Amino acid sequence: MNILIEKISAVNDLILQGKGLEAFENYYHDNVVTQDNDDEVFAGKEINRKRKEAFFDAITEFRCAKPLKVAVGEKTTMVEWQFDFTHQDLGCKKFTQVAVQEWLDGKIIKEKFYYGL
């Protein structure tokens, strides 16, 4: 479990430094699967990279990202985040989100986000 604490802390630190794409490249498995709430599932690193790039590129003002809580279990981590930003398509957003990560071979193989907007 200590290794997962170190890895999720490194991911969070990169996000806080504005290096979310670097975190994705370094800590996400090639076969990663992501999902927002109960929306469509996206499989594979390439499609998820494109989605992250498009999302980050559309942020016009970034005010806050703050991890509120981190939990670590067997092959699983969870982070509760607080976000505040303006997005060109979504407008002004201030919300909390829980991200649940499943790990395989030292990388995130599955990530699901829970939030209400």
Query: Over the stretch 4-14, which tens digit does the pLDDT of each residue have?
Result: 999 999 999 99
- 40, 93, 107 from 4: Cα distances, Å: 27, 30, 9
Contact 19, 26 (CB under 8 A): no
Which pLDDT band holds residue 117 (cuts at 50, 70, 90)?
A: low
Q: Which residue has the tokens 């990560």?
A: 101
2: confidence class by pLDDT, cuts 50, 70, 90 = confident
Residue 113 burial (CB count, 10 A): 14
pLDDT, average across residues 66-80: 97
Length of the chain: 117
Q: Residues 43-58: what's their mean pLDDT? A: 96
Instruction: Flag whether the pTM goes above 0.85.
Output: yes
- The CA distance from 93 to 84, in Å, is 6
Give pLDDT, residue 1. Answer: 65
**% of the chain exceeding 70 in pLDDT:** 98
Per-residue pLDDT averaged across 66-81, rounded?
97
Q: Which residues contact 16 (CB under 8 A, 6 or more apart)?
A: 65, 66, 67
